[in-house]
Amino acid sequence: MTTDITIPKLQAADIPTATRRPQSMLVETLYNLKRNRSAMIGLAIISFMFALAIFAPVIAPYNPLQPMLDRDDHRGLGRLPGRAPCIHLLGCTLEEPEHFMGLDLNGRDMFSRVLWGARYSLVVGIFSVAIGITSGALVGMVAGYAGGWTDDILMRLMDILLAFPALILAIAIVSFAGPSLENALLAIAIVSIPVYARLARANVLSIKEMEFVTASRAVGASHKRILFIQIMPNALTSLIVQGTLDVGSVVLTAAALSFIGLGAQPPTPEWGAILSEGRNYVFTSPHLVFFPGIMIMITVLGFNLLGDGLRDAMDPRLNRN
């Protein structure tokens, strides 16, 4: 007796299909980021600050370094240094020239100074993080790849740097190098090296055991090629996310150094330095302190929101499928 065994034909519709085409990590991250409302707010804030920084010469009504004392339109107004804000819409008389944020102690327009200040904070924030990541990645990758005593010595050095609270070490370095914005930028970068070095080392340790690295070693690639062409691109992603998260605190530290006189020097319109100039007059002219501080806060908030969003967007546990 024979039984017919019929094998059902496989239909295209029977094959389970993925609900969504698999995407590259970058596309996936950007997609997640776009759906994250607070990250988008952060991005908007940062873009706004960049616009202010770039167009400061166009938007600023006055030269940030020029005192109003010798201007014709400011004659007969009485005392100018530290003058409170004058906004026509809010009832300031039309005869008086408009100063949205008032005048500083040298009779300079605060609004113009605060606008120009955006340039310094953004430059310091981004450059010191970039320098920190580059140096940290180099130290961490060499330590992780070489292993042995190279690893031990480099990482113990990093431990020593980490043993200081960041601001204290930055203060010590700047006071050795001499107070200036450039030295403050470098000091903040140096202080952040150990964090990136540890991260880079951890990444390299896991990547160097992967098969594609063994393969390139087998075909005779040099250490330099393996480290920089094969391992580095794979080790950098988490460093960049960490870097974005750090820009905010770097901006804060830079402002703090300027505030205690170790960063930007007067008359540079850096926010921390402006704040420092006005600190002793906060009880009589609070506007000298209020506006630069608000700008620092908004900028840092922008970077923090974007950094948090980026971290969430790259976290595979939070992906939707």
Partner 1 sequence: MTTFILRRIVLTIPVLFGILALTFLLTRLIPGRPCTAIYGERATEALCSAFDARYGLNDPLGQQFLNYVGRVMTGDLGDSIRLSRPVVDLLAERLPVTVELAFAALFFAVIIGVPAGIISAYKRNTPADYFTMIIANIGVSMPVFWLGLMLAYMFAVVLRDTPFALPPSGRLDAGTQIVPFFVQWGLVTDATTASPILVFISRLYTVNAILTANTALFTNSVRHLILPAIAVGTISMSIIARMTRSSVLETLNQDYVRTARAKGLRELTVVMRHAFRNSLLPIITIISLNFGLLISGAVLTETIFGLTGVGRTLFDGISSRDYPLVQGFTFFIAFAFVLINLLVDILYGYLDPRIRLS
* Binding interface with partner 1 (CB under 8 A): 38, 156-157, 159-160, 163-168, 171-173, 175-176, 178, 248, 252, 255-256, 259-261, 272, 275, 279, 282-283, 286, 289-290, 292-293, 296-298, 300-301, 304-305
CA distance 243 to 289: 29
Query: Minimum distance between the CB of residue 57 and partner 1, rounded to whole angstroms?
Result: 26
118 vs 305 by CB, closer to partner 1:
305
**Single-letter amino acid, residue 278:** G
CA distance 198 to 3: 68
Query: Minimum distance between the CB of residue 173 and partner 1, rounded to whole angstroms?
Result: 7
Query: Minimum distance between the CB of residue 142 and partner 1, rounded to whole angstroms?
Result: 19
196 vs 259 by CB, closer to partner 1:
259
Inter-CA distances, 77 with 80, 116, 230, 288, Å:
7, 26, 68, 19
Picking from 278, 294, 308, 279, the residue whose alpha carbon sits closest to that of residue 52 is 294
40 vs 157 by CB, closer to partner 1:
157
137 vs 170 by CB, closer to partner 1:
170
Query: Minimum distance between the CB of residue 248 and partner 1, rounded to whole angstroms?
Result: 6
CB 242 within 8 A of CB 132: no
**Which single residue is written with the structure tokens 């340790």?**
205
23 vs 280 by CB, closer to partner 1:
280
111: left (phi over 0), alpha (psi -120 to 50) or beta: alpha
Query: Minimum distance between the CB of residue 253 and partner 1, rounded to whole angstroms?
Result: 8
